[in-house]
Protein backbone atom coordinates (compact mmCIF):
# COMPACT_ATOMS: atom_id res chain seq x y z
CA UNK A 1 0.00 0.00 0.00
CA UNK A 2 1.26 3.45 -0.91
CA UNK A 3 2.13 6.06 1.69
CA UNK A 4 -0.63 8.64 2.25
CA UNK A 5 -1.00 11.89 0.36
CA UNK A 6 -0.62 14.02 3.49
CA UNK A 7 0.87 14.04 6.98
CA UNK A 8 4.10 12.35 5.87
CA UNK A 9 6.50 11.90 8.75
CA UNK A 10 10.15 10.90 9.07
CA UNK A 11 9.12 7.85 11.11
CA UNK A 12 6.69 6.75 8.42
CA UNK A 13 9.26 7.00 5.61
CA UNK A 14 11.98 5.44 7.73
CA UNK A 15 9.79 2.40 8.43
CA UNK A 16 8.72 2.04 4.78
CA UNK A 17 12.32 2.05 3.51
CA UNK A 18 13.74 0.00 6.37
CA UNK A 19 16.16 2.85 7.01
CA UNK A 20 18.16 3.53 10.17
CA UNK A 21 18.53 7.29 9.80
CA UNK A 22 16.17 10.12 10.78
CA UNK A 23 17.95 12.54 8.46
CA UNK A 24 15.73 13.74 5.60
CA UNK A 25 18.66 13.96 3.20
CA UNK A 26 19.64 10.36 3.88
CA UNK A 27 16.04 9.21 3.49
CA UNK A 28 15.70 11.05 0.15
CA UNK A 29 18.81 9.28 -1.18
CA UNK A 30 18.31 5.90 0.48
CA UNK A 31 19.28 2.87 -1.66
CA UNK A 32 16.00 1.11 -0.82
CA UNK A 33 13.89 3.69 -2.66
CA UNK A 34 11.90 1.91 -5.37
CA UNK A 35 12.66 3.72 -8.64
CA UNK A 36 9.42 2.47 -10.26
CA UNK A 37 7.27 4.36 -7.76
CA UNK A 38 5.60 7.29 -9.49
CA UNK A 39 6.15 9.50 -6.44
CA UNK A 40 9.59 9.60 -4.85
CA UNK A 41 12.31 12.20 -4.24
CA UNK A 42 13.45 13.64 -7.59
CA UNK A 43 15.67 16.43 -8.84
CA UNK A 44 13.69 19.66 -8.84
CA UNK A 45 15.15 23.07 -7.92
CA UNK A 46 12.30 23.93 -5.55
CA UNK A 47 12.18 23.93 -1.76
CA UNK A 48 8.48 23.12 -2.00
CA UNK A 49 6.62 21.49 -4.89
CA UNK A 50 3.08 22.24 -3.68
CA UNK A 51 0.99 23.40 -6.63
CA UNK A 52 3.18 21.62 -9.20
CA UNK A 53 1.08 18.78 -10.60
CA UNK A 54 3.92 17.01 -12.41
CA UNK A 55 6.85 17.63 -10.04
CA UNK A 56 7.40 13.83 -9.89
CA UNK A 57 8.54 13.86 -13.53
CA UNK A 58 11.74 15.61 -12.37
CA UNK A 59 13.30 18.50 -14.24
CA UNK A 60 14.19 16.42 -17.33
CA UNK A 61 10.88 14.54 -17.59
CA UNK A 62 12.45 11.13 -16.95
CA UNK A 63 10.82 10.64 -13.55
CA UNK A 64 14.04 10.35 -11.58
CA UNK A 65 15.58 7.73 -13.89
CA UNK A 66 18.92 7.93 -15.67
CA UNK A 67 17.73 6.77 -19.10
CA UNK A 68 20.44 6.77 -21.78
CA UNK A 69 19.45 8.13 -25.20
CA UNK A 70 21.69 7.47 -28.22
CA UNK A 71 21.26 9.55 -31.37
CA UNK A 72 22.88 7.09 -33.78
CA UNK A 73 23.33 3.31 -33.78
CA UNK A 74 27.12 3.12 -33.86
CA UNK A 75 28.75 -0.30 -34.28
CA UNK A 76 28.30 -3.65 -32.57
CA UNK A 77 32.02 -3.76 -31.72
CA UNK A 78 32.48 -0.06 -30.92
CA UNK A 79 32.47 0.62 -27.18
CA UNK A 80 30.19 3.44 -26.07
CA UNK A 81 27.79 3.22 -29.02
CA UNK A 82 24.18 2.07 -28.91
CA UNK A 83 24.65 -1.34 -30.54
CA UNK A 84 27.67 -2.20 -28.39
CA UNK A 85 26.10 -1.00 -25.15
CA UNK A 86 22.80 -2.74 -25.93
CA UNK A 87 24.51 -6.09 -26.51
CA UNK A 88 26.75 -5.76 -23.46
CA UNK A 89 24.04 -4.20 -21.26
CA UNK A 90 26.20 -1.18 -20.50
CA UNK A 91 23.15 0.72 -19.28
CA UNK A 92 20.81 0.85 -16.34
CA UNK A 93 17.80 3.05 -15.70
CA UNK A 94 19.48 4.07 -12.47
CA UNK A 95 17.54 6.06 -9.89
CA UNK A 96 18.69 9.69 -9.74
CA UNK A 97 17.88 11.06 -6.25
CA UNK A 98 18.07 14.77 -5.37
CA UNK A 99 21.54 16.11 -4.66
CA UNK A 100 20.90 18.76 -2.03
CA UNK A 101 21.60 22.39 -2.87
CA UNK A 102 20.59 22.47 -6.56
CA UNK A 103 17.81 19.93 -5.97
CA UNK A 104 16.70 20.15 -2.33
CA UNK A 105 15.70 17.21 -0.20
CA UNK A 106 11.93 17.23 0.39
CA UNK A 107 10.24 14.78 2.73
CA UNK A 108 6.96 15.64 0.99
CA UNK A 109 8.20 13.87 -2.16
CA UNK A 110 7.30 10.63 -0.39
CA UNK A 111 3.58 11.44 -0.53
CA UNK A 112 1.92 8.52 -2.40
CA UNK A 113 5.24 6.65 -2.54
CA UNK A 114 4.62 2.99 -3.53
CA UNK A 115 7.33 0.66 -2.25
CA UNK A 116 5.97 -2.35 -4.17
CA UNK A 117 5.97 -0.67 -7.61
CA UNK A 118 7.24 -2.71 -10.59
CA UNK A 119 8.80 -2.20 -14.01
CA UNK A 120 5.82 -1.24 -16.23
CA UNK A 121 6.83 -3.48 -19.17
CA UNK A 122 8.20 -7.03 -19.16
CA UNK A 123 9.32 -9.90 -21.35
CA UNK A 124 8.95 -13.63 -20.95
CA UNK A 125 11.84 -15.40 -19.16
CA UNK A 126 12.67 -17.06 -22.50
CA UNK A 127 11.13 -17.59 -25.94
CA UNK A 128 10.68 -20.49 -28.31
CA UNK A 129 10.10 -18.56 -31.53
CA UNK A 130 8.72 -20.73 -34.36
CA UNK A 131 9.31 -19.68 -37.96
CA UNK A 132 5.87 -19.19 -39.55
CA UNK A 133 4.64 -19.66 -43.11
CA UNK A 134 5.94 -16.20 -44.02
CA UNK A 135 9.43 -17.14 -42.77
CA UNK A 136 9.00 -14.76 -39.82
CA UNK A 137 9.13 -15.05 -36.05
CA UNK A 138 7.45 -12.87 -33.46
CA UNK A 139 8.50 -11.80 -29.99
CA UNK A 140 6.04 -10.19 -27.61
CA UNK A 141 6.45 -7.94 -24.61
CA UNK A 142 3.73 -7.26 -22.09
CA UNK A 143 2.53 -4.07 -20.44
CA UNK A 144 2.50 -4.84 -16.71
CA UNK A 145 1.17 -1.47 -15.53
CA UNK A 146 -1.41 0.29 -17.69
CA UNK A 147 -1.65 4.06 -18.00
CA UNK A 148 -2.79 5.92 -16.01
CA UNK A 149 -1.71 4.63 -12.61
CA UNK A 150 -1.73 6.76 -9.47
CA UNK A 151 1.24 5.09 -7.83
CA UNK A 152 3.34 3.11 -10.35
CA UNK A 153 5.29 4.63 -13.23
CA UNK A 154 4.07 3.77 -16.72
CA UNK A 155 5.86 4.22 -20.05
CA UNK A 156 3.53 7.11 -20.86
CA UNK A 157 4.70 8.97 -17.76
CA UNK A 158 8.36 8.98 -18.86
CA UNK A 159 9.38 11.54 -21.47
CA UNK A 160 12.45 12.58 -23.44
CA UNK A 161 12.43 16.12 -24.78
CA UNK A 162 8.69 16.26 -24.20
CA UNK A 163 7.88 13.01 -26.05
CA UNK A 164 6.60 10.13 -23.94
CA UNK A 165 7.94 6.62 -24.37
CA UNK A 166 4.75 5.25 -25.93
CA UNK A 167 5.44 7.43 -28.98
CA UNK A 168 8.47 5.25 -29.71
CA UNK A 169 8.69 1.95 -31.60
CA UNK A 170 9.45 -1.20 -29.63
CA UNK A 171 12.51 -3.08 -30.85
CA UNK A 172 14.56 -6.20 -30.24
CA UNK A 173 18.11 -7.18 -31.09
CA UNK A 174 18.94 -10.88 -31.33
CA UNK A 175 22.65 -11.42 -30.89
CA UNK A 176 25.25 -14.13 -30.48
CA UNK A 177 27.23 -13.61 -27.24
CA UNK A 178 30.43 -15.05 -28.71
CA UNK A 179 30.68 -12.98 -31.90
CA UNK A 180 29.33 -9.85 -33.61
CA UNK A 181 26.36 -11.50 -35.34
CA UNK A 182 23.06 -9.73 -34.67
CA UNK A 183 19.57 -9.23 -36.10
CA UNK A 184 17.64 -6.09 -35.24
CA UNK A 185 14.15 -4.80 -35.93
CA UNK A 186 11.20 -2.90 -34.49
CA UNK A 187 7.45 -3.05 -34.50
CA UNK A 188 5.99 -0.99 -37.32
CA UNK A 189 3.43 0.56 -34.95
CA UNK A 190 4.15 2.81 -32.00
CA UNK A 191 3.86 1.48 -28.47
CA UNK A 192 0.84 3.77 -28.00
CA UNK A 193 -1.22 1.48 -30.28
CA UNK A 194 -0.99 -1.28 -27.66
CA UNK A 195 0.69 -3.66 -30.11
CA UNK A 196 3.85 -4.97 -28.43
CA UNK A 197 4.61 -7.68 -30.99
CA UNK A 198 7.90 -7.48 -32.88
CA UNK A 199 8.10 -9.38 -36.17
CA UNK A 200 11.51 -10.40 -37.48
CA UNK A 201 11.61 -11.39 -41.14
CA UNK A 202 13.52 -14.04 -43.13
CA UNK A 203 14.41 -16.10 -40.05
CA UNK A 204 14.29 -19.55 -41.67
CA UNK A 205 18.09 -19.66 -41.99
CA UNK A 206 18.68 -18.27 -38.49
CA UNK A 207 17.47 -21.14 -36.33
CA UNK A 208 19.17 -21.92 -33.05
CA UNK A 209 20.05 -20.14 -29.83
CA UNK A 210 20.17 -16.34 -29.49
CA UNK A 211 20.11 -13.70 -26.79
CA UNK A 212 17.55 -10.90 -26.97
CA UNK A 213 17.93 -7.29 -25.85
CA UNK A 214 15.03 -4.84 -26.01
CA UNK A 215 14.97 -1.15 -26.87
CA UNK A 216 12.82 1.72 -28.14
CA UNK A 217 13.46 3.82 -31.21
CA UNK A 218 11.97 7.09 -32.44
CA UNK A 219 11.85 5.60 -35.97
CA UNK A 220 10.47 2.30 -37.25
CA UNK A 221 13.41 0.22 -38.46
CA UNK A 222 13.39 -1.70 -41.72
CA UNK A 223 15.07 -5.00 -40.93
CA UNK A 224 18.23 -5.55 -42.93
CA UNK A 225 18.54 -1.91 -43.96
CA UNK A 226 20.92 0.78 -42.78
CA UNK A 227 20.04 1.90 -39.29
CA UNK A 228 19.02 5.57 -39.38
CA UNK A 229 20.00 8.51 -37.23
CA UNK A 230 17.31 8.45 -34.54
CA UNK A 231 16.81 8.28 -30.79
CA UNK A 232 17.65 4.80 -29.48
CA UNK A 233 16.76 3.94 -25.88
CA UNK A 234 17.74 0.58 -24.34
CA UNK A 235 14.99 -0.83 -22.10
CA UNK A 236 15.97 -1.86 -18.59
CA UNK A 237 14.79 -5.48 -19.04
CA UNK A 238 17.14 -8.45 -18.48
CA UNK A 239 18.39 -10.07 -21.67
CA UNK A 240 16.60 -13.35 -22.37
CA UNK A 241 17.23 -16.55 -24.32
CA UNK A 242 15.47 -16.95 -27.66
CA UNK A 243 15.47 -20.24 -29.54
CA UNK A 244 14.43 -19.92 -33.19
CA UNK A 245 12.73 -23.14 -34.29
CA UNK A 246 11.14 -24.66 -37.35
CA UNK A 247 8.48 -27.32 -37.22
CA UNK A 248 4.78 -27.76 -37.71
CA UNK A 249 3.22 -24.48 -38.73
CA UNK A 250 0.38 -23.28 -36.49
CA UNK A 251 -2.17 -20.73 -37.61
CA UNK A 252 -5.03 -19.20 -35.61
CA UNK A 253 -8.27 -17.64 -36.83
CA UNK A 254 -10.82 -15.79 -34.74
CA UNK A 255 -14.49 -15.04 -35.29
CA UNK A 256 -16.89 -12.88 -33.26
CA UNK A 257 -20.50 -11.64 -33.27
CA UNK A 258 -22.41 -8.96 -31.36
CA UNK A 259 -25.23 -10.13 -29.11
CA UNK A 260 -28.78 -8.86 -29.63
CA UNK A 261 -28.26 -5.94 -27.21
CA UNK A 262 -24.94 -4.85 -28.78
CA UNK A 263 -23.26 -4.88 -25.38
CA UNK A 264 -21.15 -8.03 -25.70
CA UNK A 265 -19.24 -9.94 -28.35
CA UNK A 266 -19.25 -13.73 -28.32
CA UNK A 267 -16.24 -15.22 -30.05
CA UNK A 268 -14.23 -18.34 -30.74
CA UNK A 269 -10.79 -19.02 -32.15
CA UNK A 270 -9.53 -22.02 -34.10
CA UNK A 271 -5.97 -23.35 -33.99
CA UNK A 272 -4.61 -25.34 -36.95
CA UNK A 273 -1.43 -27.45 -36.86
CA UNK A 274 -0.35 -28.73 -40.28
CA UNK A 275 2.89 -30.24 -38.98
CA UNK A 276 3.74 -33.84 -38.31
CA UNK A 277 4.17 -33.42 -34.55
CA UNK A 278 2.14 -31.96 -31.69
CA UNK A 279 2.57 -28.23 -30.97
CA UNK A 280 1.87 -26.43 -27.71
CA UNK A 281 0.81 -22.89 -28.55
CA UNK A 282 1.76 -20.40 -25.84
CA UNK A 283 1.17 -16.72 -25.19
CA UNK A 284 -2.28 -16.67 -26.83
CA UNK A 285 -3.84 -13.20 -26.68
CA UNK A 286 -7.23 -12.12 -28.00
CA UNK A 287 -7.89 -8.44 -28.67
CA UNK A 288 -10.95 -6.26 -29.14
CA UNK A 289 -10.06 -3.27 -31.33
CA UNK A 290 -12.04 -0.44 -32.87
CA UNK A 291 -11.15 1.70 -35.88
CA UNK A 292 -12.51 4.93 -37.32
CA UNK A 293 -12.36 6.29 -40.83
CA UNK A 294 -9.92 4.42 -43.06
CA UNK A 295 -7.81 2.93 -40.25
CA UNK A 296 -6.52 -0.61 -40.58
CA UNK A 297 -7.14 -2.90 -37.57
CA UNK A 298 -3.44 -2.74 -36.69
CA UNK A 299 -3.80 1.05 -36.40
CA UNK A 300 -6.91 0.91 -34.22
CA UNK A 301 -7.46 1.39 -30.50
CA UNK A 302 -7.25 -1.69 -28.28
CA UNK A 303 -10.35 -1.84 -26.06
CA UNK A 304 -9.45 -5.01 -24.19
CA UNK A 305 -6.89 -7.81 -24.22
CA UNK A 306 -7.74 -11.28 -22.94
CA UNK A 307 -4.91 -13.70 -22.17
CA UNK A 308 -5.69 -17.34 -22.91
CA UNK A 309 -4.23 -20.60 -21.56
CA UNK A 310 -1.74 -22.64 -23.58
CA UNK A 311 -3.23 -25.13 -26.04
CA UNK A 312 -1.61 -28.31 -27.36
CA UNK A 313 -2.70 -29.01 -30.93
CA UNK A 314 -2.09 -32.57 -32.16
CA UNK A 315 -0.26 -33.11 -35.45
CA UNK A 316 -2.33 -32.37 -38.56
CA UNK A 317 -5.30 -31.32 -36.45
CA UNK A 318 -7.40 -28.36 -35.42
CA UNK A 319 -8.89 -27.27 -32.09
CA UNK A 320 -11.73 -24.81 -31.58
CA UNK A 321 -11.87 -22.73 -28.39
CA UNK A 322 -15.36 -21.28 -28.00
CA UNK A 323 -17.73 -19.60 -25.53
CA UNK A 324 -15.50 -16.56 -25.10
CA UNK A 325 -16.88 -13.06 -24.54
CA UNK A 326 -15.79 -9.43 -24.68
CA UNK A 327 -18.15 -7.21 -22.66
CA UNK A 328 -18.39 -3.85 -24.43
CA UNK A 329 -21.21 -1.52 -25.53
CA UNK A 330 -21.16 -0.79 -29.24
CA UNK A 331 -20.59 2.86 -30.20
CA UNK A 332 -21.92 4.21 -33.48
CA UNK A 333 -19.26 5.35 -35.95
CA UNK A 334 -16.71 2.75 -34.93
CA UNK A 335 -15.79 -0.46 -36.73
CA UNK A 336 -15.01 -3.30 -34.33
CA UNK A 337 -12.46 -6.05 -34.88
CA UNK A 338 -11.19 -9.00 -32.91
CA UNK A 339 -7.63 -10.19 -33.24
CA UNK A 340 -5.58 -13.11 -32.00
CA UNK A 341 -1.86 -13.80 -31.74
CA UNK A 342 0.46 -16.25 -29.99
CA UNK A 343 4.16 -16.89 -29.64
CA UNK A 344 5.39 -17.74 -33.13
CA UNK A 345 1.98 -17.04 -34.69
CA UNK A 346 1.29 -13.76 -36.52
CA UNK A 347 -1.57 -11.50 -35.50
CA UNK A 348 -4.81 -12.01 -37.47
CA UNK A 349 -7.96 -9.87 -37.36
CA UNK A 350 -11.60 -10.38 -38.27
CA UNK A 351 -14.37 -7.79 -38.22
CA UNK A 352 -17.05 -8.41 -35.61
CA UNK A 353 -20.27 -9.52 -37.28
CA UNK A 354 -23.74 -8.18 -36.54
CA UNK A 355 -26.16 -10.27 -34.53
CA UNK A 356 -28.23 -12.67 -36.62
CA UNK A 357 -31.92 -12.49 -35.87
CA UNK A 358 -33.76 -15.81 -36.09
Which CATH number do you get for residue 261? 2.60.40.10
| Domain span including residue 271 | 250-351
Q: Tell me if 58 is assigned to some domain.
A: no
Are 232 and 266 members of one domain? no
- Low-confidence residues of the chain: pLDDT under 50: 358
- Domain end marker among 212, 228, 245: 245
Per-residue confidence (pLDDT) for residue 112, from 0 to 100: 98
Per-residue confidence (pLDDT) for residue 242, from 0 to 100: 95
Are 167 and 230 members of one domain? yes
Share of the chain above pLDDT 90, in %: 84
Given a contact cutoff of 8 angstroms between Cβ atoms, the answer to whether 271 and 343 are in contact is no
Are 225 and 289 members of one domain? no
Q: If you ran DSSP here, which 8-state letter would residue 295 be given?
A: -
Q: Tell me if 303 is assigned to some domain.
A: yes
Are 324 and 229 members of one domain? no
How large is the C-alpha radius of gyration of the chain?
Answer: 23
- Domain end marker among 245, 277, 296: 245
CA angle 131, 285, 262 (to 5 degrees): 135
Per-residue confidence (pLDDT) for residue 248, from 0 to 100: 59
Total domains in the fold of the chain = 2
Are 300 and 232 members of one domain? no
- Domain end marker among 225, 245, 265: 245
How distant is the alpha carbon of residue 128 from its chain centre? 19
Given a contact cutoff of 8 angstroms between Cβ atoms, the answer to whether 355 and 261 are in contact is no
How does pLDDT run across 286-341, given as a tens digit for each residue? 999 999 999 999 999 999 999 999 999 998 899 999 999 999 999 999 999 999 99
Are 223 and 261 members of one domain? no
Amino acid sequence: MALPNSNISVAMVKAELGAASNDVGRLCTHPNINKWSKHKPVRQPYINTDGLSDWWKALDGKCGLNIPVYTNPGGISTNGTFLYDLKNKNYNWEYMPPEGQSSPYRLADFRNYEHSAVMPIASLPSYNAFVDTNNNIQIDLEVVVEYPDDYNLTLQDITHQGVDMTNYYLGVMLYKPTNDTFIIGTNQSKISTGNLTIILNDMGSSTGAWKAAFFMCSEALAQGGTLPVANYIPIDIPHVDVTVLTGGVVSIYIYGMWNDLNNAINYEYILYNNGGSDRTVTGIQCFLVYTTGSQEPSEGTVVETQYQPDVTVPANSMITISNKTFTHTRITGRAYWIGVSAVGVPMTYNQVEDSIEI
